[in-house]
Amino acid sequence: MTPTIHPTLAADKWGRARALSCALDEGFEPLMVQVMGLPNLNGMSHNFHMALGALGLVKPFDWMKWDVPALTKEMVPTLDDDTAWRHVTRVVRSERFFEGNFDAHIRNGSLTALLRHLYILRCTENGRPLNFPMFSDGSVEPGLRLVGFSQGTIGHTTGRHEVCAQPDCSRWSVELEVHNGLRQYWCSDNWHYVQGAEELFILQSWSHRKSRRTRPTRK
């Protein structure tokens, strides 16, 4: 069953696609109904299929004569934008001729990873979403609300950020003021900012990571 996506996040094309990609990594659902062989219109895979098209990632080209190895999760980080969307197109279009191909790329995590890779290529710079409110001195706009995957408000941004302290992570750790005025650094690896809403959304229930680095109290 497709997870409940916050209406603000669902209305954002990249936000919806990223949220569905994360949900599919947590729990696979087939594109086609197994008994009837028809699309499961309420399933996550079908909605993800539609989200890829809504982003314009499925474009005309002669994919049947494209002599490039099949998509794997391991190759995703090395792909440039032009090669990436061609892989998306080939996976989506080939489902008409090779039923189960789309599901196979969901199961092995290659297509969901590719969607998130394309987001990084097109919508971020040095780990920061291009539409993320930021001042000329490098500080994050304070007061942005962070909304949890399955809960309400977690906290609000204070304006401070730094590089995440977790290994192999190039994203930001953004300082939040949470309950009782406590301040903590949270890795923004799987957050999504919806421009104009002044809200950040956690896309996975388990993937957000608190930075262990603490800032000393000012005297």
* pLDDT one-digit tens code per residue, 98-126: 888 898 999 999 999 999 999 999 998 87
The SS3 assignment for 199 reads strand
What ranges do the domains of the chain cover? 7-125, 129-202
Sequence-distant (≥ 6) Cβ neighbours of residue 182 within 8 angstroms: none
Name the percent of the chain lying above pLDDT 90. Answer: 44
Angle at 13 between CA 12 and CA 14, to 5 degrees: 95
How far, in Å, are 23, 69, 80, 102, 142 from residue 75 at the CA level?
A: 22, 10, 11, 17, 37
Rounded mean pLDDT, 130-158: 82
Rounded mean pLDDT, 40-44: 67
Fold of 129-202: SH3 type barrels. (2.30.30)
**Least reliable range by pLDDT among 8-12, 80-84, 139-143:** 139-143
In our burial notation (b when 16+ CB lie closer than 10 A, e otherwise), range 31-59 reads bbeeeeeebbeebbbbbbbebbeebebbe
Q: How confident is the model at residue 217 (pLDDT cuts 50, 70, 90)?
A: very low
Do 160 and 177 form a contact (C-beta atoms < 8 A)? no
Cα separation of 7 and 84, whole Å? 28
Position 141 scores a pLDDT of 87
Residue 40 has pLDDT above 80, yes or no: no
* pLDDT one-digit tens code per residue, 178-200: 878 899 888 888 889 998 888 89
Cα separation of 9 and 2, whole Å? 14
Q: How confident is the model at residue 81 (pLDDT cuts 50, 70, 90)?
A: very high
Position 33 scores a pLDDT of 55
Position 30 scores a pLDDT of 61
Could you tell me the pTM of the whole model? 0.84
| Mean pLDDT score of the chain | 83
Residue 35 has pLDDT above 60, yes or no: no
Position 88 scores a pLDDT of 97
Rounded mean pLDDT, 141-147: 90
**Least reliable range by pLDDT among 20-24, 55-59, 134-138, 163-167:** 134-138
**Least reliable range by pLDDT among 136-145, 181-190, 209-218:** 209-218
- State the pairing for strand pair 199-202/191-194: antiparallel
Position 192 scores a pLDDT of 92
